[in-house]
Structure 1
Amino acid sequence: MKLLLLVVALGLAGASPIKDDRVCQPHSRPWQVYLHGEGSCSGVLINDWWIVTSFQCGLRSNNAIASLGEHDVTVEEGTEQHIRVANVINHSPYRSPHHSLSMVRLASPAHFTKYVQPIPLPSRCPRPGETCYVSGWGSTIPNQHEPPQQLKCITVPVLDDQTCLRMSPDYVAWSPGMVCAGHANTDNCLSDSGSVMVCGGMLQGVDWFANGCMNPAYPTVYTKLCEYNDWIGNVMSKYRPTVLPPMTT
């Protein structure tokens, strides 16, 4: 009888979904944006009109939607704002081995709620040894595809440039616009183009090369956002949305 009960218990345990402890607390990242059209990726809201993402996202403005206030992208939770994308501006003139960054302008401004909030741009660069937090939709297991569903969160240590250069694959041409985080025996994989790295409450990176998702011994490389504040500011000034005054009668 005891053996029968044990078999039943194990069978029920196997039938139950395994809890993923890397799923974020719902709506704990109100600046995270789900960008989707022909494909999907993450972005990060920096004000009511603008989103930062990676060039890896490959977003096209003619059919793209930005969904704000998301957690589980497979259901409508009543917290979302779905806004059409007006412009996608890639780092000029195009992606090179030294840049991977895109700006996304919304067709209409986001409405800030407790589920939708911007995050500050960096006032300093990330420091080696600093603990940062990465979030995105996708798998946290190397070499495993997972369709986007619930937002995932991992914790990563920032590495110094020399360690990044030594540990990265040969095809990564290191540049000052890069920062890497995570290494063997730590979380270092989140397979979402544009996954967002936050350090000290500031936006510090978006996914560039998810090396840790191919080999868990490698760190993952992010665009070093502190090096791009001027470019981001220039793009927002150049592509400033035109807001018409209200009509009077």
Structure 2
Amino acid sequence: MNLLLLVIALGLAGASPLSTTTKTPDYKVCQPHSRPWQVRLHGAGVTCSGALINEWWIVTSFECAPRPYENIASLGEHDITVEEGTEQHIDIDLVIRHGPYDSTRSPFHSLTMVRLASPARFNQFVQPIPLPSRCAQPGETCSVSGWGSTIPNQYEPDQHLKCITVPVVDDQTCMNTFPGYLHWSWYMICAGQANTDNCLNDRGGVMVCDGQLQGVQWFAFGCRNPAHASVHSKMCLYNNWIKSVMDANKPFTSTTPRATTRLQREI
């Protein structure tokens, strides 16, 4: 009997370290290939998301900002640990960051345009997301997707694309939760609130409302405190800047010379 008790005690002792390190399961996996505009930007220490807006261009966050010919854009991804036969892996040719931006004091914008070295091939797994024709409104329900944890304070990337559903909240509600070292910007839109799934930790995570690109993740405040909204770039205010960047930097083709116009970096 004493021997049996000793064996049980040792078994419990051996199990306790595992119980303290086991992570909470993260079940919010997207239906595979239901977000054909989602792009994974990776390589050379970069791992983040972006949104494909046409066959040449991707929009992502300022913080993501991959480097030309050092990073790869992977389209048609779902499980990043295997080749599913749906992927297109394309070099990055040009990166244009929107300025000014000061991540330590007062961010005004958080947006980066990424041009592919060769055009994406559209099919059922790879499709662009339309730019917004209007601004999302408070109370509107949107979807956020990315390869990140949806569990607050658990920051490891995940192998499967994740999706959460969030409500847009008004600016004042979002400002009330801002940390003191940051300042509010008119170019921000916030989504998520208490008792909703408002955490998805992926730089450049994509927010889509009513079939249009309405946000690119800026600050994942909802992953620090589940009661707080996360902040995204308010994409409806950037249509003119995006168009000007694309017009000034048309990709080189056999019929179109590479643009030499000075890059327009401001709205």
What TM-score does the superposition give when structure 2 sets the normalisation length? 0.83
SS of the residue 1:231 aligns to: helix
State the AA in 1 paired with 2:179.
Answer: P
Q: Which moved more, 1:133-142 or 1:146-155?
A: 146-155
Q: Residues of 2 paired with 1:170 and 1:113: CA distance?
A: 46
Alignment of 1:129-168 (within 5 A): 129-168=139-178
For the 8 Å contact 2:222–2:228, the answer to whether it is kept is yes
Q: Residues of 2 paired with 1:111 and 1:33: CA distance?
A: 13
State the AA in 2 paired with 1:53.
Answer: T
Structure 1 residues 111 and 194, CA, compared in 2 at 3 Å: closer, same or farther?
same
Any idea what the Cα deviations from partners look like across 1:90-120, whole Å, max 9, x if unmatched?
Answer: 0035556110000000000000010000010
Match of 2:39 in 1: 33
For the 8 Å contact 1:32–1:44, the answer to whether it is kept is yes
For the 8 Å contact 2:36–2:127, the answer to whether it is kept is yes
SS of the residue 2:158 aligns to: coil
State the AA in 1 paired with 2:49.
Answer: S
Root-mean-square deviation (CA, aligned residues, Å) is 1.9
Q: Residues of 2 paired with 1:155 and 1:232: CA distance?
A: 26
For the 8 Å contact 1:168–1:219, the answer to whether it is kept is no
Match of 1:69 in 2: 76
Q: Residues of 1 paired with 2:207 and 2:113: CA distance?
A: 16
For the 8 Å contact 2:138–2:169, the answer to whether it is kept is yes
Alignment of 1:31-180 (within 5 A): 31-37=37-43, 38-94=45-101, 97-180=107-190
State the AA in 2 paired with 1:63.
Answer: E
- Percent identity for Structure 1 against Structure 2: 66
Runs of 4+ with >3 A deviation: 17-21, 92-96
For the 8 Å contact 2:74–2:90, the answer to whether it is kept is yes
For the 8 Å contact 1:196–1:205, the answer to whether it is kept is yes
Q: Residues of 1 paired with 2:86 and 2:154: CA distance?
A: 29
SS of the residue 1:212 aligns to: helix
Deviation at 1:199, TM superposition (A): 0.3
Query: Which residues of structure 1 form unaligned runs of 5+?
Result: 1-13
Deviation at 1:147, TM superposition (A): 2.6
Larger radius of gyration: 2
Query: Which residues of structure 2 form unaligned runs of 5+?
Result: 1-18, 257-267
For the 8 Å contact 2:28–2:162, the answer to whether it is kept is yes
Q: Residues of 2 paired with 1:82 and 1:169: CA distance?
A: 38
SS of the residue 1:83 aligns to: strand
Any idea what the Cα deviations from partners look like across 1:142-176, whole Å, max 9, x if unmatched?
Answer: 11122331000000000011111112222331111
Deviation at 1:50, TM superposition (A): 0.2
Deviation at 1:188, TM superposition (A): 1.0
Q: Which moved more, 1:82-91 or 1:163-172?
A: 163-172
Q: Residues of 1 paired with 2:195 and 2:178: CA distance?
A: 16
Structure 1 residues 165 and 201, CA, compared in 2 at 3 Å: closer, same or farther?
same
State the AA in 2 paired with 1:153.
Answer: C
How many equivalent pairs are there? Answer: 231
